Amino acid sequence: MDAGDPPVAAAQRRVDVIRAAAVNCYLVAAGDGFVLIDTGKPENRGEIADRIAAAGCPPAVLKLIVLTHGDYDHAGNAVFLRAKHGARIAMHRNDAPRVEQGDWSLGMKPRPDKFPLLYRTVARFIKPGPFDTFTPDLCVEDGQELATFGLAATVLHLPGHTRGSIGVLTSTGELFCGDLMDSMMGRPSLEFFIDDMPAAQASLARLRDLQISTVYPGHGKPFRLEEVR
């Protein structure tokens, strides 16, 4: 784990944070292999591949690639890593058309509910680069267990950032939330880009009723759920 991240008890599974260009990928130990949550931008492909290997995950040991949603910066290396490791790609069906067509506006509102002026201005100068479109190997649903892949964890459908956003909640309370929340501005909050605010607030309210020890966001450092206001 990165320095400064909340400690993971020895009894819990190992989580390797792979952070490149302000985007987090998470390599989670799963039985005798690993599950990768999100894949980063294609521009950082070499760095991410090297970090995965350095964490002790050679080809054929990666059991599953889970995409929390279909954004370019989270799904950008899915095809490459599937070919390299032979792992299947899993995501929610509501975001599948976005990676199949490479259209990031697909299914999104013309004017998102939350998109602060600062980020709106920056976004004008950040355009997605080339992207390998693909069809997911597995469409996961809310409540689906990942035990088949050696990971004691449950998929949670957490719409708000996108219609097909999901989180992964392990049996020991680690939540990988994608872009529902982040800590980029210091204090954890709902992510700066929220397409559907009522859906995001409902997703957050649902999480507050669950046993969650640490939240691992798509952007920023891990935090405790009770820090989110």
* 51-96 pLDDT tens trace: 999 999 999 999 999 999 999 999 999 999 999 999 999 999 999 9
Q: Where are the alpha helices (DSSP H) in the chain?
A: 45-54, 72-75, 78-85, 96-101, 117-123, 197-208
CA distance 84 to 87: 8
Cβ–Cβ under 8 Å, residues 203 and 190: no
CA distance 129 to 43: 8
> pLDDT band at 121, cuts 50/70/90?
low
Query: What is the DSSP secondary structure assignment for residue 148, as one 8-state letter?
Result: G
3-state helix, strand, coil in the chain (%, to 5): 25, 25, 50
pLDDT at 7 over 60: no
> pLDDT band at 4, cuts 50/70/90?
very low
Cβ–Cβ under 8 Å, residues 48 and 39: yes
**Average confidence (pLDDT) over 196-214:** 97
User: Which residues are within 8 A (CB) of 18 and not within 5 positions of it... i.e. 6 or more apart?
Assistant: 24, 25, 26, 27, 40, 48, 51, 52, 55
> pLDDT band at 125, cuts 50/70/90?
low
- Hey, is 150 helix, strand or coil? coil
pLDDT at 11 over 50: no
CA distance 183 to 150: 29
Predicted confidence at residue 119, as pLDDT, reads: 60
> pLDDT band at 120, cuts 50/70/90?
low
pTM value is 0.91
Comparing C-alpha atoms, which of 50, 54, 47, 49 is closest to residue 65?
49
